[in-house]
């Protein structure tokens, strides 16, 4: 059968989860970013996953994962009162990003768990393939 | 050749095992995809159907009774890991049986040194 195998399916998931990890890294790195008054502060990003049938002829069969885009969080920005800062606005507040560290950390744990599950699946597929080959 | 019918039996079982492994891989790959529903095939029914008509692709069914998350995804990673492990065991067993039962056949086909 010339269908895309486990390697393509789990491989697509590894790529997608890696992109998710990169987004989380970007969010955590910018959690403390601030902007000058009137500037656009950093918004937390999140990737969007979508299932794509592995073979076009079989829409009910196995599906690969694809990242279809990123969405930006609409949460309110963090404001801290610091009138001495050169970045403070007229009311004395410094506007920072809207990244929630707790949310990013739970997301990070979930992403690495999914990544590990896909790696385990790949290892198992490899073991089975080796058994098939050594049977001859 | 009716006496090599068992070869077809093992062949179909291995094809179904491979298809199941792909579906479980797809379930694990999509464990974070919104709206994805875990799927699998009923091995016993699919094997019967394939032995009667090998051209027909196995019927894919959705898993029932698993909790559905807020994003409409019902993949359970522990459940899928167990399914993957069980499927791998079965594939290994089928391969072993196939190997053992063909060894006798190959032995019989091999020309003997005493001219038999």
Q: Inform me whether the pLDDT recorded for A2 exceeds 60.
A: no
DSSP H/E element including B39? strand B39-41
A17 CB contacts (<8 Å, ≥6 apart)?
A111, A114, A115, A118, B32
Per DSSP, the residues of A38-89 read: TS-----EEEEEEEEESSTT-TTS-EEEEEEEEEE--PPPPEEE-TTSTT--
Is ipTM over 0.85?
no
B17-56 pLDDT tens trace: 999 999 999 999 999 999 999 999 999 999 999 888 888 8
User: pLDDT tens digits, residue range A8-41?
Assistant: 999 999 999 999 999 999 999 999 988 877 788 9
- pLDDT at position B102 is 84
The pTM score is 0.85
From chain B residues 48-107, the ones with a CB under 8 A of any chain A CB are: 57, 60, 77, 80-81, 84-85, 88, 91-92, 95, 98-99
At residue A45, φ and ψ (nearest 5 deg) are -105, 155
At A26 the pLDDT is: 95
Q: Which positions 56-115 of A are in contact with B (Cβ < 8 Å)? A: 58, 60-65, 110-111, 113-114
- Sort A64 into a burial class: Cβ within 10 Å, 0-12 / 13-18 / 19+: buried
Across the interface, whether the CB atoms of A10 and B25 are under 8 A apart is answered yes
DSSP, res B33: S
Answer whether A49 sits within 8 Å of B84, measured CB to CB. Answer: no
């Amino acid at each position: 059968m010339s269908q895309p195998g486990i390697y393509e399916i789990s491989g697509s998931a590894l790529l997608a989860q890696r992109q998710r990890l990169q987004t989380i890294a970007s969010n955590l790195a910018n959690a403390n970013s601030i902007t000058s008054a009137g500037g656009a502060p950093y918004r937390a990003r999140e990737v969007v996953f979508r299932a794509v049938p592995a073979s076009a002829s079989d829409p009910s069969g196995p599906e690969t994962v694809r990242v279809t885009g990123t969405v930006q969080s609409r949460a309110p920005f963090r404001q801290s009162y610091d009138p001495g800062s050169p970045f403070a606005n007229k009311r004395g507040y410094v506007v920072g990003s809207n990244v929630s560290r707790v949310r990013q950390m739970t997301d990070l744990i979930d992403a690495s768990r999914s990544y590990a599950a896909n790696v385990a699946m790949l290892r198992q597929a490899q073991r089975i393939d080796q058994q098939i080959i050594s049977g001859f | 050749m009716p006496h090599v019918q068992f070869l077809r039996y093992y062949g179909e079982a291995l094809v179904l095992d491979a298809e199941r492994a792909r579906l479980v891989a797809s379930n694990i790959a999509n464990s974070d995809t919104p709206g994805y529903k875990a799927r699998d095939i009923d091995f016993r029914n699919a094997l019967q159907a394939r032995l009667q008509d090998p051209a027909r692709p196995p019927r894919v069914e959705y898993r029932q009774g698993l909790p559905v998350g807020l994003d409409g995804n019902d993949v359970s990673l522990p459940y899928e890991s167990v399914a993957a492990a069980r499927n791998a065991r079965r594939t290994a067993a089928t391969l072993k049986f196939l190997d053992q039962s063909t060894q006798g056949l190959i032995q019989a086909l091999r020309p003997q040194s005493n001219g038999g």
